[in-house]
């Protein structure tokens, strides 16, 4: 027996041993029979089905977990209890959510902490209070034509185009969401041309104005 023949026999034996008729799952690397349509470890589609249309998951179903009778419907838990690779898949999904939460929470926490430290908490306080001030103003003005503060001081919000709508009061109050926005808007209003000297810039957008309430 020559050296080449010996090598050939060894190679054939090796193929036999490692299962020439086996394929490896591209997802988890588990060995599967080459005609298998689904991985016996992780239930991922195998072979042509997966290769032809990787974007479109096959409509076919992985084989029922053996603890079920034929015709029974399998739940995710049924599949997970049999295909151990699936457990790994879902553990990774869970870890991914934990990681993503950390990726969101940590930077936001750091940024808010720095801002709170720089401003003594006023940035966050102003932002949160601004949302309440915005909603409060819009609701009260659309309901009774004034916030409590305006009513006390004899001021009333009216529409320049007819009936005052909730959408009008939402628009005119939107800059109250953040105190700095309201300040910028008011300063801008000071320098913009106007035909109604009782309007902020957002009053012009909302077609509203503020009048003195006459008895
Ligand atoms: Zn697999």
| pLDDT digit string, tens, across residues 33-57 | 888 888 888 888 887 544 444 555 5
Distance from Cα 45 to the centre of ligand 1, integer Å: 8
Query: Alpha helices of 42-83 — where are they, by DSSP H?
Result: 47-52, 76-82
Task: Say if residues 18 and 7 touch (Cβ distance below 8 Å).
Answer: no
Distance from Cα 62 to the centre of ligand 1, integer Å: 11
Return the pLDDT at 121: 73
In the Cβ-directed half-sphere of 107, how many Cα atoms lie within 13 Å?
A: 5
Distance from Cα 49 to the centre of ligand 1, integer Å: 14
Ion ligand 1 contact residues with beta carbon within 5 A = 25, 27-28, 30, 39, 41-42, 44, 85
Distance from Cα 140 to the centre of ligand 1, integer Å: 61
Count of other CB atoms within 10 angstroms of residue 75: 11
Q: What is the pLDDT of residues 80-114, one digit of tens each?
A: 988 888 888 899 989 989 998 888 888 888 888 88
Q: Which residue has the tokens 């997802």?
A: 27
Lowest mean pLDDT among 39-53, 141-155, 192-206: 39-53
| CA-atom Rg of the chain in angstroms | 35
Task: Say if residues 212 and 154 touch (Cβ distance below 8 Å).
Answer: yes
Residues 101-118 as b/e (b if ≥16 CB within 10 A, e otherwise) read eeeeeeeeeeeeeeeeee
Question: What's the pTM?
Answer: 0.45
Give, in order, the Cα–Cα distances in Å from 40 to each of 33, 89, 181.
Answer: 9, 14, 60
Confidence of residue 62 (pLDDT cuts 50, 70, 90): confident
């Amino acid at each position: 027996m020559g050296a080449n023949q010996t090598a050939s026999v060894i190679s054939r034996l090796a193929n036999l041993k490692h299962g020439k008729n086996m394929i490896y799952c591209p997802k988890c690397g588990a060995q599967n029979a080459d005609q298998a349509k689904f991985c016996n470890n992780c239930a991922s589609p195998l072979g042509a089905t997966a290769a032809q249309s990787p974007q479109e998951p096959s409509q076919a179903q992985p084989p029922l977990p053996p603890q079920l009778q034929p015709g029974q419907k399998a739940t995710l838990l049924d599949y997970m209890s049999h295909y151990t690779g699936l457990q790994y898949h879902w553990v990774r999904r869970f870890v991914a959510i934990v990681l993503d939460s950390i990726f969101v929470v940590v930077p936001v926490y750091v940024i808010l902490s720095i801002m709170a430290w720089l401003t003594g908490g006023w940035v966050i306080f102003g932002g949160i209070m601004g949302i309440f001030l915005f909603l409060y103003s819009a609701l009260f003005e659309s309901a009774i034509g004034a916030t409590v503060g305006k009513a006390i001081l004899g001021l009333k919000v009216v529409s320049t185009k007819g009936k005052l709508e909730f959408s009008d009061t939402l628009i005119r109050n939107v800059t109250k969401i953040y105190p700095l926005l309201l300040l910028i808007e008011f300063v801008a209003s000071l320098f913009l041309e106007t035909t109604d000297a009782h309007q902020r810039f957002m009053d012009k957008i909302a077609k509203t104005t503020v009048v003195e309430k006459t008895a």
